[in-house]
Structure 1
Amino acid sequence: MHREGRGFLLSPIAGDDDRGGEKSPPFSARNQGFAFAETGGSLPPMFPVTRPETWGGGEIPPFASKPGGTLSPLVSRREGREFLPSPVFVAGDRGGEKSPLFSAHFGVPNIVMSLNSSFVASSCDPRYALKHLVSPHQRLINSNLPHGKCTPFLVTRNQTFRVYCDSQTKEMQIRKFSPILESMLLSGNGIIPSKEWKTVPDIWRTSAEKFGDRVALVDPYHDPPTNMTYKQLEQEILNFSEGLRVVGLKPEEKIALFADNSCRWLVADQGIMATGAINVVRGSRSSVEELFQIYNHSESVALVVDDPVLYSRISETFRARATVRFVILLWGEKSSIKDVAAAEIPVYSYNEITSLGHESHTALVHSEDARKQYIYETISSDDVATLVYTSGTTGNPKGVMLTHENLLHQITNLWDIVPAVPGDRFLSLLPPWHAYERACEYFIFTHGTEQVYTTIKNLKEDLQRYQPNYLISVPLVYETLYRGIQKQFNTSSAARKLVALLFLRFSLAYMEAKRIYEGKCLTKDPEQPSLLVSLFDWFWARITAAILWPLHMLAKKIVYSKIHSAIGISKAGISGGGSLPSHVDKFFEAIEIKVQNGYGLTESSPVVAARRPNCNVLGSIGHPIKHTEIKVVDAETDKVLPYGSKGIVKARGPQVMKGYYKNPLATKQVLDENGWLNTGDIGWICPHHSVGRSRNARGVIVLEGRAKDTIVLSTGENVEPSEIEEAALRSSLIQQIVVIGQDQRRLAAIIVPNKEDILSEAKRLSKVDSDASEISKETMTSLFHEELRKWTSECSFQIGPILVVNEPFTIDGGLMTPTMKIRRDKVVSQFKEQIDNLYK
């Protein structure tokens, strides 16, 4: 910057309003300056100064000096404040009593700026913290470095920094780290880390300080069973992270984490992130080919696997076709590995990694020489934290790049949906690498809750044993609970069954009236009802609810209390990862177990909308979560549609992915230049009414299926199969159903029967002998047609031919995703020949 014919050297601690001049405290120079102020006092990029150089007409700039000489006086005072000198100096300078940058008394090593737009400020006095004087757009390292220490101070969101010591050599390693998580390591240098989280691993230091001796997690089904407090969990993550560095994992490298739900998965996941590396996640039930393609496409360098069984299954393929630096077993012993040839690759047990990490971390904390081996570099919030591959990756893998910032958005904004408090208990049974389970786990651990790991097999027992406050799961789990309760009703004595079903009808009617007078009903009609009609509607609903309320309360005491004691869920069940059937939604509302439906995608980390505890509008996915925008657009023109109109749902917010890894074309197809993510879902937004049944439902989002699932009949008509499937699943005879009919004249269905229920129904109707143990497919088909006519009568389209399949669709069979959604395309492909025969 020039003023009055002079050039002034800018110190980076100038206030945002400083424009220089002879009275400006950061300036003191008569010759040409080196760095000039821009608008607002921000700094342009700087670069290392390694020797005195000519500047502006051959002059030596005032900051240059010879080793042992003095530097020009760049420190000044104003209004009683002392300002730090500019960081621009000669690399060979070792200070001296007249040097404003260094003092020989302290023996401080020289520090040189890195090649990026961050900068280094230096002082011998730790009082110069500067955190109130720096422009918010700048990064700062406070090099209060007596005794030869090089210590990072403060991190902001956009760029990384490095600190270089004079003892640095080319052999020194870059150590990426989370300043908050590793504050123990840095505390010896007087560092007070920022309280603002920049990376996901930052949360563990905060939680350990707040909830130290509280139980964080319980893992009863692994060997050994594990209970871990918040302090112990933080230490395990630190040890695992450091162990990974010891065995050679470097920052920004990818490492595959192929494992299932357990406490050690969480430790490994966070340990990897804390090194600055990127984890590439998948479950152990995926095929060998799918795991290999993910490993290969992601350019992973090493493997963390669930146990020796999985490693033995994949080792031959990986040895022959991939380069694997090392393997870590989360559970089990190395001696259990069956493939002898697999010994060519170094294999470590979980305990070996944490032990190596503990030893190394202890040495770093207590040894200054050990710390000097590294160049310290912070993990940025914009760094990729994980690659999550979308379902059905074989042949065309799409790795979703989620950054620390994406995941932190979820951690800091889900409390409005799940107002967890310390001591609340959650059951965890979903795949931990799935974005839904993962975001929820990170979130709950910032609030001092307890997580209990369970399985589908043990869910019923664990619900009663642990009495969770919350259950975070997928619609299929709530459907399973619903069916179990219905089965108990149906197998009770005739009198008990009659009483239970009668009470349930009263409660369903009571809740419907309650929704009307509370204004929590859905409507597509953009026209607001008249005030008079609304008042009458409200009055009638109030009277109806008042009449039914005593019966509902009696049912709650006699019937529902037993259900509550059996399944817990005292605060709420959170459903996500798929569409929650309306009959299941209404059932849990009637028995007063709150179920809140949410919505998101892997590409959005995942949550973009959810029903709130105080605005739980049935049939919807609620409002967008904080800092998130949602719009509905026309599929052809991309124009925003009015409220109540059905179209493609798009979302925008800080949680939206960075893109698909190595796939810019696929990224461009779903993510536009303005940051809008095309979800591929069809939906509408409830109109804004100030009176009437939907006055408190305005702005909620309703989904009606996937655009890619829409069936186009040969007649040109479009059919959303999810509506028909949801209605059909109300039948106790149907376990699974897929509606088909693309390019055909009419719809058909592939149905998996509930064998016990359909056999009982056939006996009741005398379609088989009373002692029969099986039922023919012809009889099944006849019963299914009757059930479909009963339950889908209100749907716009009816089912024609039916294909009965005896074996259920499963994850292991490749026909369901890990979150238990049916892979429609895979089912159609597998039964293509039988489907063709249906239409002949």
Structure 2
Amino acid sequence: MAQSLAFTMGSLLADIARRFPEHDALVYPDRGLRLTYREFDALTDRVAKGLLRMGIQKGDHVAIWATNVPQWVILQFATAKIGSVLVTVNTNYKSAELEYVLNQSDAKALFLGEGFKDTDYVETLYTVVPELKGTAAGALESAKLPFLKHAVFLGEGTPDGMLAYNELENMGRDISDDELDAVKNSLDRFEVINMQYTSGTTGFPKGVMLTHDNIINNGFQIGECMKFTENDRLCIPVPFFHCFGCVLAVMACVTHGTAMVPVETFNPEQVLKTIEAEKCTAVHGVPTMFIAELEHPNFRNYDLSTLRTGIMAGSPCPIEVMKRVIRDMNANEITIAYGQTESSPVITQTRTDDPIELRVATVGRALPNVEVKIVDIETGESLPPGKQGELCTRGYHVMKGYYKMPEETARAIDDENWLHTGDLAVMDENGYCKITGRIKNMIIRGGENIYPREIEEFLYTHPKISDVQVYGVPDRKYGEQVMAAVKIKDNVECSEDEIRDFCRGRIANYKIPTYVKFVDEYPMTASGKIQKFKLREMAIKELQLEDLESASTG
């Protein structure tokens, strides 16, 4: 057995702060913020006390809706130190999605930033919970969201009905260290402290419950694959609300005493500037981010000579991009990782010394202490090397389950504790895996996982739509785009723009169909099942995307 860490989040941070007290923990050059691990540990203690004073207790659910601001990573540890569960909210969400997550998660508090792109978070929250205006902070009573009591604003000023985050740090001043320690000592590393929402082909988003042990050990092994030490510095442009941000980045760093250098919202030049200014040795990103950085007109003006490693993940990596990242960005030890939220999230990863062929043609081999097998989709029998089947995984990294969804959990994790990923894969005799398809028809657009069923359920609420099928089609920039094949009710007229306008402001922009096709019927199997792969094939032909389809690595 490879090394395993037996910590809670609080005891892990205390251990790292003891070992590397004066090493940088969290750095925001633009904000002039630079916290050592000693300071970061102390600050998260103060915020944890503030949460206790606010009435947040072990087991309570605390949602966060913000870009990569400092408070995000501070709250990741402060909530865990008191055993409350951090519910991460996608920064792209609109009102309907926010309401669903707050309701389904039983969130007691929401920490929210100012907004992202075209969404004003404060106004959106007021739309969802109009009672908040005119209510004293912490006294919210909402019929729609009965659990929600607190809204805490992370920006400047204090909107009506909310508490300012800055007040939180001082609120717990009268709570002693002994009091906080008593709470910390009551925690178990196998308790849930993180909940992330992932959609499914069978319905609405599901809350994936992850424990201290899940994300600490997954983060540790991810960092080991990159050979992280306390001397590394990771530039983090990927969002914290994804496992990519809060585990592959934050937990990989903290388990090794590595410095975290976040970029608040992705901007290719800001990433280049940050790497140079902070002498970063590693950078994470989805392929589209790396492409944007490489193709930025000022790319050659930046000194990236300190770069060594990082992770490219989220969607298949084109070989030419990988070669350019190694050659032009100096990241000759860049790695590829594969997994899903339900597995904390990384299942397989390439290693720094793997040849480039393996780093592009595969998603690596299983992390230490992780089991992987490929099974026949029909029989469930294990398959030999070279045969395609469903990738299943078992180990410490598998989630506790989906929140309040026991049937969905039972469908995902079998009686022998194997997590069924829904991904088609082939494994070679050395354990290296290649992902060849998706049983679930999931769409991956620029690193965002999009589940057709969720968009279909939403579009079914359009008064003119009688049926709709959503699927992905190849795209040069994002890997895939969303397409909807729509059947209109009899004797009505509808345009593509009408469908898209219906979506705007109600579902995240990246989920809005780029292509809308009106159809009279769908290709069906003999047993009456709609064949989405045929809809996709027809669309590829009509849109003349054959060259992109043949270039895809799956």
> TM-score band, normalised by the shorter chain?
0.7 to 0.9
| RCO higher in structure (CA 8 A, sep ≥6) | 2
**What's the secondary structure of 2:518's corresponding residue?**
helix
Q: Does 1:461 align with 2:269?
A: no
Match of 1:597 in 2: 336
Q: In the alignment, is the contact (CA less than 8 A) between 2:22 and 2:37 conserved in 1?
A: yes
Find the counterpart in structure 2 of residue 382 from structure 1.
190
Once the two structures are TM-superposed, the CA of residue 739 in structure 1 deviates from its matched residue by: 8.9
SS at match of 1:423: coil
Q: Per the alignment, do residues 581 and 839 of structure 1 end up closer, same or farther by CA in structure 2, a change over 3 Å counting?
A: closer
CA distance 1:827–1:709, change in 2 (3 Å): same
Q: Give 2:433's match in structure 1, choosing from 691, 701, 706.
A: 701
> In the aligned structure 2, how far is the partner of 1:307 from the partner of 1:393?
32
Answering whether residue 117 of structure 2 is matched by residue 310 of structure 1, we say no
**Kept in 2: contact 1:471–1:569 (CA 8 A):** no
The one of 413, 417, 429 aligned to 1:671: 413
Return the match for 1:659 from 401, 423, 427.
401
**In structure 2, what is the Cα distance between the partners aligned to 1:683 and 1:410?**
21
State the match for 1:623 in structure 2: 365
Matched, 1:272 2:272: no
Counterpart of 1:708, as a letter, is K
TM-score (norm 2): 0.74
Aligned to 1:282: 89
User: Which residue in 1 is equivalent to 2:206?
Assistant: 398
Provide the secondary structure at the position in 2 that maps to 1:201. Answer: helix
Shift of 1:482: 4.0
| 1:349 match | 164
Given the superposition, is the C-alpha separation of residues 418 and 256 from structure 1 closer, same or farther in structure 2, using an over 3 Å criterion?
same
Structure 2 distance, partners of 1:393, 1:282, is 20
Aligned partner letter, 2:122: Y
Would the aligned equivalents of 2:10 and 2:184 in 1 still touch at CA under 8 Å? no
Aligned in 2, Cα 1:593/1:371: closer, same or farther, shift over 3 Å? closer
Matching residue within 210, 217, 232 for 1:409: 217
The C-alpha deviation readout for 1:686-742, integer Å capped at 9, x for no partner, is: 2x3xxxxxxxxx32111123223399xxxxxxxxx99x94xx73xxxx676549799
> Is the alpha carbon distance of 1:312 and 1:585 closer, same or farther for their aligned partners in structure 2, counting shifts above 3 Å?
same
- Conserved? CA contact 1:596–1:613, under 8 Å: yes
In the TM superposition, residue 371 of structure 1 has moved relative to its aligned partner by 9.1
Amino acid at match of 1:333: G
Aligned length: 456
CA distance 1:737–1:622, shift in 2 (3 Å): closer
Q: Counterpart of 1:217?
A: 26
Question: 1:200·1:407 contact (CA, 8 Å) conserved in 2?
Answer: no
- Structure 2 distance, partners of 1:329, 1:623, is 42
In 1, the alpha carbon distance for the partners of 2:506 and 2:5 equals 42
1:297 counterpart residue number: 104
User: Which amino acid in the other structure matches residue 225 of structure 2?
Assistant: I
Quick one: which amino acid aligns to residue 596 of structure 1?
Answer: T
1:814 is aligned to: 508
Q: Is the 8 A contact 2:484 2:513 kept in 1?
A: no
Q: Does 1:231 align with 2:38?
A: yes
Deviations 1:122-150 (A, max 9, x none): xxxxxxxxxxxxxxxxxxxxxxxxxxxxx
The superposition leaves residues 395-452 of structure 1 with CA deviations (integer Å, 9 ceiling, x where unpaired) of 6130001111211221332233121122321111111121122113122123222221
SS of equivalent residue, structure 2 residue 434: strand
Residue matched to 2:285? 473
Check conservation: 2:5, 2:216, Cα contact below 8 A: no
Q: TM-score if structure 1 supplies the norm length?
A: 0.50
When structure 1 is superposed on structure 2, of 420-429 and 671-680 the one drifting more is 420-429
**Preserved contact between residue 644 and residue 684 of structure 1 (Cα < 8 Å):** yes
Report the counterpart of residue 12 of structure 2 in structure 1: 203
Q: Equivalents in 2 of 1:271, 1:199: separation in Å?
A: 12
Taking every aligned residue pair, what percent have the same amino acid on both sides?
Answer: 24
Q: Which amino acid is the alignment partner of residue 664 of structure 1?
A: P
Any idea what SS the aligned residue of 1:322 has?
Answer: coil
Deviation at 1:585, TM superposition (A): 2.2
Q: Do the aligned partners of 1:436 and 1:605 also contact (CA within 8 Å) in 2?
A: no
Say if 2:403 is the partner of 1:579: no
Closer, same or farther: CA 358–349 of 1 in aligned 2, 3 Å: same
Change (3 A) 1:456 1:302: closer
**Structure 2 vs 1, CA of residues 330 and 662 (structure 1 numbering), >3 Å: closer, same or farther?**
same
Match of 1:650 in 2: 392
Contact preservation (8 Å) 2:95, 2:506: no
Matched residues in 2 for 1:445 and 1:382: separation? 19
User: What is the rounded CA distance, in whole Å, between the counterparts of 2:24 and 2:256 in structure 1?
Assistant: 12
Question: Structure 1 residues 246 and 388, CA, compared in 2 at 3 Å: closer, same or farther?
Answer: same
- Would the alpha carbon gap of residues 209 and 315 (structure 1) be closer, same or farther in structure 2, given more than 3 Å must change? same
The corresponding residue for 1:329 is 153
CA drift at 1:377: 6.0
Q: Give secondary structure in 2 for the equivalent of 1:358.
A: coil
Contact 1:256 1:280 in 2 (8 A): yes
Residue from 426, 444, 460 that aligns with 2:253: 444
Deviation at 1:251, TM superposition (A): 1.5
Q: Which amino acid aligns with 1:831?
A: V
Contact kept? 1:611, 1:622, Cα under 8 Å: yes
What is the distance in 1 between the residues matched to 2:171 and 2:438? 48
- 1:461 deviates by 2.8
Q: 1:219 to 1:568 in 2, by over 3 A?
A: same
1:124-139 counterparts in 2 under 5 A? Answer: none
Asked if 1 retains the 8 angstrom alpha-carbon contact of 2:87 and 2:196, the reply is yes
What is the rounded CA distance, in whole Å, between the counterparts of 1:303 and 1:663 in structure 2? 22
Matches within 5 A, 1:123-162: none
Structure 1 residues 770-785: aligned runs within 5 Å: none
Does the 8 A contact of 1:250 with 1:275 survive in 2? yes
Distance change in 2, residues 1:740/1:431 (3 Å): closer
* Secondary structure in structure 2 of the residue aligned to 1:390: strand
1:253 to 2:60 alignment: yes
Q: Is the 8 A contact 1:630 1:652 kept in 2?
A: yes
Structure 2 unpaired stretches of 5+: 132-141, 444-470, 487-499, 520-534, 544-554
Tell me if structure 2 keeps the 8 A contact 1:597–1:611.
yes
Structure 2 CA distance for aligned equivalents of residues 422 and 430 of structure 1: 21
Q: Distance in 2 between matches of 1:653 and 1:349?
A: 41
Once the two structures are TM-superposed, the CA of residue 839 in structure 1 deviates from its matched residue by 6.4
Secondary structure of the corresponding residue to residue 294 of structure 1? helix
Q: 2:274 is aligned with what amino acid?
A: D
SS at match of 2:399: coil
8 Å contact 1:463–1:567 — kept in the other structure?
A: yes
Q: If each structure's strand is expressed as a fraction of its own residues, which one has the higher value?
A: 2
Determine the structure 2 residue equivalent to 1:827.
Answer: 513
Please report how far the alpha carbon of residue 221 of structure 1 lies from its aligned counterpart in structure 2 after TM superposition: 4.2
Which of these residues, 207, 228, 240, is aligned with residue 47 of structure 2?
A: 240
Distance, in Å, in 2 between the alignment partners of 1:628 and 1:652 is 6
What SS class does the counterpart of residue 231 from structure 2 fall into?
Answer: coil
Q: 1:710 to 1:298 in 2, by over 3 A?
A: closer
Letter in 2 for 1:647: G
Is residue 272–residue 302 contact of structure 2 (8 Å, CA) maintained in 1?
Answer: no
Secondary structure, aligned partner of 2:9: coil
What CA deviation, in whole Å up to 9, does each residue of 1:44-87 have, x standing for no partner?
xxxxxxxxxxxxxxxxxxxxxxxxxxxxxxxxxxxxxxxxxxxx
